[in-house]
Structure 1
Amino acid sequence: MLKLSALFISLSALLLASCSSNPPKSSYNNICSVFDHDSDWEDAALDAEKKWGTPAYILMAFVHQESRFKHDAQPAREYALGLVPLPRRSSAYGYTQAQDPAWYDYQKSTGNWSARRTNIEDSMDFIGWYNYQSFKRNGISRHDTYNLYLAYHEGQGGYSRKTYLRKPWLKKVAYKVTKQSIRYKEQLKKCNQAYSSSSPSKSKGQCRAAWPYC
């Protein structure tokens, strides 16, 4: 009985931990609130920025657009006759909405075969890696949110063929992501102020460790 109770407690803690990564909807538009909700987002975004060169505020804007920080996000499923579930439109899944082929390419390229699309660190690393491919293959600056997102959506080949020119709606989405990244960038400058004021032991204007946005 004691063993069953311990197992139940462990499983409950695991479920709660996995759910805690999803910020409340009220915080989606404020990157400081997302970081305060779960510091894993901050650590993963800054690690991916350092590793791949895409700023954290752009990485986070991608997640905001793709999944609204929902770990198991998937395309909507359609139903035949309103009853029979049909296959989903694509294999897009998780925080990044990466499809199976792109995720496999990432795993193969990085050797990170255990990477999961529901994992915060893996998701941030994937977006950073993909944007690095956009930089290498299509010469897109890793600070150019608009074109990085077009390549992210269309794929490297699609971007080079300019398939996005036939998709006015996609260009509007890319512009939306760009605005979100600018908003996040401005907020990041203020995150450290909130960090300093949250604890009496922090002196005014003190930077949190390894914080590049002071």
Structure 2
Amino acid sequence: MAANQQVIQPRWAGVFAVMAGVMLAGCTTTPPQHPDDLCSIYREKRSWYHTAMRQEEKWHIPSAIPMAIMNQESSFRANARTRRTYILWVIPWGHISTAYGYAQAKNEIWRDYQRQTGAGGSRTNYADALNFVNWYLTNSHKIDGIPLTNATRQYLAYHEGWGGYRKRSYEAKPWLVTVARKVGRRAQQYQKQYNACKDELKGSWWERFWNSIF
């Protein structure tokens, strides 16, 4: 028995080492190397892929939409903030807004999201930020009637707020309309990319089983 145990233990040690490596890799906050390719993002960040698929099932929104919005808002940087303001061009004096994290969620709307959903979480956590964006898009659909798959109009509401969108405040901001159209094109590109690689991304049965547990 002792001899057998000596053979088995190293094998299990190797398995656990691989699992630990995968989990640590999923916790990394570095932006993806190829942010304009959704397949590449999901290949590099497997935990993001599995999170996105679970949220697709939960919210019934293609992940290409919130991913395109987060790309625009933060370039997938976990601790992204708006640029600082300065006194006399020298002394830093805080930030233009409280927008923070992957989704650039402001303090007030983040608190509303937490109250309405009962969610805790952090704006620097990918899964929490993605859940926030999906929640916001869902409310834009309910409140302003914006189709869930219309990334251009969804981004306008995301940027201007639900009331601002209804008042068409974006019409006075041609630069914003240009950015929103850019988000719409990226969402379409992301979806096209994903459609071409979605079968490959599913991975092995063991990976799917492991991520169904966690």
TM-score by shorter chain over 0.5: yes
Q: State the match for 1:39 in structure 2.
A: 46
**Greater helix fraction, Structure 1 or Structure 2:** 2
Amino acid at match of 1:122: D
Q: 1:137 aligned to 121, 136, 143, which one?
A: 143
Q: 1:177 Cα deviation (Å)?
A: 0.2
Taking structure 2 as the reference length, the TM-score comes to 0.79
Tell me if structure 1 keeps the 8 A contact 2:101–2:123.
Answer: yes
CA shift in 2, pair 1:180/1:96, >3 Å: same
Q: 1:154 Cα deviation (Å)?
A: 0.4
Q: 2:28 aligned to 15, 20, 35, which one?
A: 20
Amino acid at match of 1:130: Y
Q: State the match for 2:17 in structure 1.
A: none
Structure 2: which 5+ residue stretches go unaligned? 1-20, 210-214
Q: 2-side partners of 1:19 and 1:167: how far apart?
A: 37
Alignment partner of 1:65 is 2:72: yes
Q: Once superposed, which parts of structure 1, at least 4 consecutive aligned residues long, lie more than 3 Å away?
A: 16-19, 192-196
Alignment of 1:36-185 (within 5 A): 36-112=43-119, 114-185=120-191
Alignment partner of 1:30 is 2:30: no
Tell me if structure 1 keeps the 8 A contact 2:25–2:45.
Answer: no
Amino acid at match of 2:133: I
Tell me if structure 2 keeps the 8 A contact 1:53–1:132.
Answer: no
Secondary structure in 2 matching 1:87: strand
Secondary structure in 2 matching 1:79: strand
Q: State the match for 1:4 in structure 2.
A: none
Indicate the percent of aligned positions where both proteins have the same amino acid: 38
Taking structure 1 as the reference length, the TM-score comes to 0.79
Q: State the match for 1:3 in structure 2.
A: none
Aligned length: 186
Q: 1:166 Cα deviation (Å)?
A: 0.8
Secondary structure in 1 matching 2:84: coil
Larger Rg: 2
Q: 1-side partners of 2:163 and 2:54: how far apart?
A: 28
CA shift in 2, pair 1:37/1:21, >3 Å: farther
Secondary structure in 1 matching 2:51: helix
